[in-house]
Structure 1
Amino acid sequence: MKLIVGLGNPGAKYAGNRHNIGFMAVDEIHRSHSAFQPWRARFQGQVSEGRLGTDKALLLKPSTYMNESGRSVGEAMRFYKLQPEDIVVLYDELDLPPAKFRMKKGGGHGGHNGLRSISAHIGPDYRRLRLGIGHPGDKKLVSNYVLGDFAKADQDWLEPLLEEIANHADLLATGQDSQFANKLTLSLEPQKAQRKGKPEVVGERPGRPAAKPKGQSHIRQARQPKPTAMPKSGPMADMLKKLFRGD
């Protein structure tokens, strides 16, 4: 069995908050897969047991508020005798742009109170699906930002992201995190631009002589014999002078 945990704060007041994107993702998995039972209160949270593909899975939304999420997760983990690698936590990530995501296993909490609590209860070696919500740009604005609702315009990327998480959740249940990430990327960015190749440069190579133009002969012309020099004085010279004069 795999435990898929969505992080958020309980109650209608927080339902649309950016901080609750983990709840939203788990709710979408529940809606999209009819094999899951109705939600019920257990492990200090709301749980639903079912199947993703052929594998059993438990969906969990802690009711302890974000900064005490580890109490709920630890209780469910101990009851089912699970290991940290059997647990996937879905949560909001300020350091990723909206609509972006990252899969990772283990690591620190990065200042996220939900992760801080979970790591304190079960250790840091669980799997994480980080869902980007963007950053307000100023640390002083973070609290109001994460506890603020998604804007109407955000639905253009939020709804497709949640739907594709649900469509490929069976890969999370079987521990195929890399395949899950690949499927999600292909679904959300099908027209991802390919790097254009540089045009081939035609020209002379350095250190080599330039090629001869087409049509130019490569055959060397035969050397012409040098004319024999005429003697300037002596009997032979006198004879030749008389011959040329016609004497």
Structure 2
Amino acid sequence: MRLVVGLGNPGKEYERTRHNIGFMVVEELARRQGALLKKKFLFPARVAKCRIGEQEVRLIEPTTFMNHSGKAVWGAMRKWRADPEDTVVVYDDVDVAFGGIRVRAKGSGGSHNGMKSVLEWLQTKGFPRVRVGIGPKPAETDMIKFVLGDFPEQEHLKLEKVVERAADAVESILSVGTERTMNEFNQLQIG
């Protein structure tokens, strides 16, 4: 069993914000598989069951709000007895230029509060992640306003392609592993 978790905030007002690109990627994966994300009551998340390649997968969107995402990830891992290395986390990264995708096998959460929560709940850095670039943040712009803001028009025109390529990266991790996926996607820049 593999878990794919997209980080974001629940609610209509956050749907198309930079901080919700993790949700957008999970929704693209669900669309590709004809799967429907449904609310779970054992832990705070929306979940879809599907197969990606040979893997049985649960697609997960925490409903805890970004800064408490770890609770939902931990709950899902417990329910399906998934190990950290079987869990792929997808999230926005202000330190990666818009259109960039960075795949890592492990590491810190940087300045991302959602990832900090996941790391705190899981007590390990050893799980693959797909960082989707939303940067750079203009120096004069407040971080919260930036990540909770909508994409500007010039980025919005490319957003669908960025989400599709990030979903491709997740599928690649599930089929050929993190190392090969890093080699293919880490130099990729859409735009």
TM-score by length of 2: 0.89
How far has the Cα of 1:132 moved from its partner? 0.6
% identity of equivalent residues = 35
1:119-134 equivalences under 5 Å are: 119-123=119-123, 124-134=125-135
How far has the Cα of 1:153 moved from its partner? 1.5
Residue segments in structure 1 that go unaligned for 5+ positions in a row: 190-247
Report how many aligned residue pairs link the two structures.
187
How far has the Cα of 1:3 moved from its partner? 0.5
- Indicate the residue corresponding to 1:98 in structure 2: 98
1:41 has 2:42 as partner: no
How far has the Cα of 1:182 moved from its partner? 4.5
Which residue identity lines up with residue 125 of structure 1 in the other structure? G
Q: Is the Cα contact below 8 Å between 1:32 and 1:166 reproduced in 2?
A: no
How far has the Cα of 1:33 moved from its partner? 1.8
Q: Distance in 1 between matches of 2:185 and 2:116?
A: 27
Which residue identity lines up with residue 144 of structure 1 in the other structure? K
Structure having the higher strand fraction is: 2
1:82 has 2:82 as partner: yes
Mark the CA change 1:135 to 1:166 in structure 2 (over 3 Å): closer, same or farther: closer
Cα-to-partner distance string for 1:163-221 (whole Å, 9 max, x where unaligned) = 233345432224612333445469866xxxxxxxxxxxxxxxxxxxxxxxxxxxxxxxx
Which structure has the higher relative contact order (CA within 8 Å, separation 6+)? 2
Cα-to-partner distance string for 1:11-60 (whole Å, 9 max, x where unaligned) = 000001101110011111111123x3x21111211000110012101100
Q: Distance in 1 between matches of 2:112 and 2:187?
A: 28
Cα-to-partner distance string for 1:130-186 (whole Å, 9 max, x where unaligned) = 111013232762111111011221133321121233345432224612333445469
Cα-to-partner distance string for 1:89-137 (whole Å, 9 max, x where unaligned) = 1001111111011111222221211011111111221211111101323
Q: Is the Cα contact below 8 Å between 1:9 and 1:66 reproduced in 2?
A: yes
Structure having the higher helix fraction is: 2
Aligned to 1:133, what secondary structure does the other structure show?
Answer: strand
- Further displaced range: 6-15 or 24-33: 24-33
Mark the CA change 1:185 to 1:71 in structure 2 (over 3 Å): closer, same or farther: closer
TM-score by length of 1: 0.70
- Indicate the residue corresponding to 2:143 in structure 1: 142
Q: Distance in 2 between matches of 1:105 and 1:168?
A: 13
Which residue identity lines up with residue 143 of structure 1 in the other structure? I
Structure ID, larger Rg: 1
Q: Is the Cα contact below 8 Å between 1:17 and 1:147 reproduced in 2?
A: yes
- Indicate the residue corresponding to 1:17 in structure 2: 17
Which residue identity lines up with residue 143 of structure 2 in the other structure? V
Cα-to-partner distance string for 1:61-94 (whole Å, 9 max, x where unaligned) = 0000000000000001011111111111100111
Mark the CA change 1:186 to 1:133 in structure 2 (over 3 Å): closer, same or farther: closer
Q: Is the Cα contact below 8 Å between 1:3 and 1:59 reproduced in 2?
A: yes
- Indicate the residue corresponding to 2:164 in structure 1: 163
